[in-house]
């Protein structure tokens, strides 16, 4: 049977970054990915990087394309009552702004770096199963092969097999459902301005974002069971303009889809020799733009713990992994839930709740302290990269 030290399931941001960090420390791994390379490099997902994620990419030799292609903003705008107000994160945090760099570009950079370094990434591997994670020699097994590992990292997202291989009685799952979702578009239209605009509107949330100087990305709050085909492109652009109180540049749609809203945490993030990282362990609602950033924070902690284990024979980092990650996960979950509730219209709310929500937003827009708290969380809680 083949052998590796760390078997990684999933080549998303979590799995790829983990194998990159381990390789830099001389620890070999094999990444098994269900989809093709083309598929993972084209999948449109996240757009925003926290300050710590930008540093991580820079420090580990992945910053070259990002430095060229990323868009950097001072802050964001919030639209309410037909007026847009600017929040300057640079000023509020003493120099941390907003970086727009698409997740699929990060994935391309990671795949290229791993392949150039001779990394073992295997695409289109269907039917992976995890065996023996309770024992000393866990294995990844699939119809075409098997690999014995020291440890397995489950980086296969919310719908993956890793979390599902843990006995249900060994996990506690925390869920929140939302009575709404996002209808999103990606369009060949130059962003109408540099900064993102978030709207709280009586018809519901809206967000103007972008992927590049040629591509606009935008979302409106819709019903959880919304059929995207019921919306013509014209209706969607009109609704965005109305809620955001702007006039977006319009262009051909490349994508129109519904993004479900979910909040989810699995505890603990370790079972025997299996470690969960990224979306396989937790999902935050997308409003705070945190999911990929949280996946990076997990694998920084996991690679640090593994390096300590291999260099010093010390398992303390591995034993602390779940608690270390969950401390950050719950803070980020709190922020993402807060931002979601602040900006969305909850159909179950009465006028009392709505007035409270409007007052909270007015307080935020008028208070230096509240704006600083938003800026600190949005640009990213501190990420320790000293030994990376």
Q: What is the binding site for ligand PHB (CB under 6 A)?
A: 47-48, 196, 207, 209, 217, 286-289
Q: Out of 198, 219, 309, 321, pick the active-site residue.
A: 198
Q: What is the rounded distance in angstroms from the CA atom of residue 291 to the CA atom of residue 39?
A: 20
| Number of chain residues interacting with ligand RFL (CB under 6 A) | 34
Among 6, 9, 266, 306, which residue sits at the site for ligand RFL (rule: CB under 6 A)?
9
Between 150 and 195, CB nearer to ligand PHB: 195
Task: Say whether residue 344 binds ligand RFL (CB under 6 A).
Answer: no
CA distances to 39, 153, 242, 348 from 381, rounded to whole Å, are 31, 24, 33, 32
Active site residue 286: yes
Task: Calculate Rg over the CA atoms of the chain.
Answer: 21
Nearest Cα to Cα of residue 274 among 107, 134, 113? 134
Q: Are 91 and 212 contacting, i.e. CB atoms less than 8 angstroms apart?
A: no
| Residue number with CB closer to ligand PHB (103 or 165) | 103
Rounded Cα distance between 298 and 49, Å, is: 15
The site partner of 317 among ligand PHB, ligand RFL, none (C-beta below 5 to 8 Å per kind) is: none
Q: How far is the CB of 88 from ligand PHB (least distance, A)?
A: 17
CB 164 within 8 A of CB 156: no
324 binds, among ligand PHB, ligand RFL, none (CB under 5 to 8 A by kind): none
Check if 159 is active-site.
Answer: no
Question: Is residue 253 within the footprint of ligand RFL (CB under 6 A)?
Answer: no
Q: What's the 3-state SS for 219-269?
A: EEEECCCCCHHHCCHHHHHHHHHHHHCCCCCCCCEEEEEEECCEEEEEECC
In whole angstroms, the minimum distance from the beta carbon of 341 to ligand PHB comes to: 14
Residue 219 among the catalytic residues: no
Q: Which does 75 bind (CB under 5 to 8 A by kind): ligand RFL, ligand PHB, none?
A: none
Half-sphere exposure of 18 (CA within 13 A, CB side): 37
**Smallest distance from ligand PHB to CB 205, Å:** 10
**Is residue 283 within 8 Å of residue 298, measured between CB atoms?**
no
180 classed as catalytic:
no
Q: How far apart are CA 300 and CA 285, in angstroms?
A: 22
Give the one entry of ligand PHB, ligand RFL, none that residue 291 binds, where binding means its C-beta sits below a cut-off of 5 to 8 angstroms depending on kind: ligand RFL
Residue with tokens 């396989």, as numbered in its chain? 280
- Binding site partner of 14, from ligand PHB, ligand RFL, none, Cβ cut-off 5-8 A by kind: ligand RFL
**Cβ closer to ligand PHB: 221 or 287?**
287
Residues noted as catalytic: 73, 198, 286, 290, 378
């Amino acid at each position: 049977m083949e052998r590796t030290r760390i078997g990684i399931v999933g080549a998303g941001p979590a799995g790829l970054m983990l194998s990159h960090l381990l390789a830099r420390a001389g620890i070999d791994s094999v990444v098994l990915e269900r989809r093709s390379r083309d598929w993972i490099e084209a999948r449109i997902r996240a757009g925003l990087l926290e300050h710590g994620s930008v540093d991580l990419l820079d420090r580990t030799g992945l910053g070259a394309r990002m430095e060229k292609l990323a868009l950097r903003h001072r802050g964001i705008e919030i639209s309410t009552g037909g007026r847009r107000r600017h929040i300057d994160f640079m000023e509020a945090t003493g120099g941390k702004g907003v970086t727009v760099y698409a997740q699929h570009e990060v994935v391309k950079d990671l795949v290229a770096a791993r392949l150039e370094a001779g990394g073992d990434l295997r695409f289109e591997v269907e039917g992976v199963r995890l065996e023996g994670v309770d024992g000393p020699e866990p294995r990844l097994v699939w119809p075409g092969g098997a690999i014995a590992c020291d440890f397995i990292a489950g980086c296969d997202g919310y719908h993956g097999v890793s979390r599902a291989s843990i006995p249900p009685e060994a996990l506690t799952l925390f869920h929140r459902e939302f009575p709404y979702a996002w209808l999103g578009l990606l369009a060949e239209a130059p962003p109408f301005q540099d900064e993102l605009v978030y709207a709280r509107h009586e018809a519901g949330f809206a967000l103007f974002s972008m992927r590049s100087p040629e591509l606009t990305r935008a979302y409106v709050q819709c019903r959880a069971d919304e059929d995207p085909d019921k919306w013509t492109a014209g209706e969607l652009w009109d609704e965005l303009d109305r809620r955001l109180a702007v006039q977006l540049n319009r262009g051909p749609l490349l994508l129109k889809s519904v993004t479900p809203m979910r909040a989810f945490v699995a505890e603990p993030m370790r079972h025997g020799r299996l470690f969960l990282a990224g979306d396989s362990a937790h999902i935050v609602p997308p409003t705070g733009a945190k999911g990929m950033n949280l996946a990076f924070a997990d694998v920084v902690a996991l690679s640090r713990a593994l390096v300590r284990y291999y260099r010093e024979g010390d398992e303390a980092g591995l034993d602390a992994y779940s608690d270390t990650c969950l401390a950050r996960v719950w803070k980020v979950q709190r922020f993402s839930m807060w931002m979601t509730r602040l900006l969305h219209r909850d159909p179950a709310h009465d006028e009392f709740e709505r007035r409270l929500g409007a007052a909270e937003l007015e307080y935020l827009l008028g208070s230096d302290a509240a704006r600083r708290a938003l800026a600190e969380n949005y640009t990213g809680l501190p990420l320790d990269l000293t030994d990376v």
